Amino acid sequence: MNGLIMLIISIAVLILAYLLYGRYLTRVWGIDPSKKTPAYELEDGNDYVPTSPSVVFGHQFASIAGAGPINGPIIAAMFGWLPAFLWLLLGSVFFGAVHDFAALYTSVRNKGKSIGYVIELYVGKTGKRLFLLFMWLFSILITAAFADIVAGTFAGFDAQGGRIDANASVATSSMLFIAAALCLGYLIKKRSSDLASGIIAVDLLILCITAGIFFPVYLPGSLWLYIIFGYIFVASIVPVWALGQPRNYLNSFLLIAMIIAAFAGVAFTSPEITIPAFTGFEVNGNYLFPSLFVTIACGAISGFHSMVSTAATSKQINNEKYILPVSYGAMLVETMLAVLALIAVGSLAVGGKFPTGTPPVIFATAVSGFLYKIGLPLNVSFTIVSLAVSAFVLTTLDAVSRLGRIAFQEFFAAEDEKAMPIIKFLGKSPVASACTLVSAYLLAIHGYKNIWPLFGAANQLLAVLSLAGCAVFLKHTHRRGFMLFIPSVIMLSVTFTSLIFSIKGKLLKLSDGNFNAAVDGFQLFIAVLLLILGGIVLVSCGAKLLKKNTDGAGQS
Residue 524 falls inside a structural domain: no
Half-sphere exposure of 442 (CA within 13 A, CB side): 8
pLDDT above 50 (res 511): yes
Query: What is the residue range of 218's domain?
Result: 3-447
CA nearest neighbour of 483 among 20, 18, 28, 12: 28
Residue 153 falls inside a structural domain: yes
Q: Which residues partner with 282 through β-bridges? A: 287
Task: Provide the pLDDT for residue 550.
Answer: 53
pLDDT above 90 (res 176): no
Mean pLDDT of the region 501-526: 82
Residue 386 falls inside a structural domain: yes
Kindly report which listed range (207-221, 404-418, 483-497) carries the lowest average pLDDT score: 404-418
Residue 357 falls inside a structural domain: yes
Mean pLDDT of the region 125-149: 82
Rg (CA), the chain: 22
Positive or negative, the CA dihedral 324, 330, 331, 335 is: positive
Of the pLDDT bands very low, low, confident and very high (cuts 50, 70, 90), residue 449 is: low
Residue 110 falls inside a structural domain: yes
pLDDT above 80 (res 388): no
3-state secondary structure of 306: helix
3-state secondary structure of 113: coil
Residue 83 falls inside a structural domain: yes
The CA dihedral of 40, 41, 42, 44, to the nearest 10 degrees, is 40
Residue 406 falls inside a structural domain: yes
One-letter amino acid of 130: L
Residue 119 falls inside a structural domain: yes
Give the relative orientation of helices 244-269 and 378-411 as an angle to the nearest 10 degrees: 140
Please state the three-class secondary structure of 344-380 as a single string: HHHHHCECCECCCCCHHHHHHHHHHHHHHHCCCCHHH
Task: Provide the pLDDT for residue 5.
Answer: 94
Residues 128, 131, 134: CA angle, nearest 5 degrees: 150
- The total domain count for the chain is 1
Distance CA 392, CA 298 (A): 13
Give the relative orientation of helices 115-122 and 452-476 as an angle to the nearest 10 degrees: 50
Distance CA 59, CA 44 (A): 19
Mean pLDDT of the region 357-361: 74
Mean pLDDT of the region 361-372: 83
Alpha-carbon separation of residue 470 from 328, 482, 533 (angstroms) = 15, 11, 18
pLDDT above 80 (res 194): no
pLDDT top residue among 517 and 504: 504
The pLDDT tens digits for 460-472 are 888 988 998 899 8
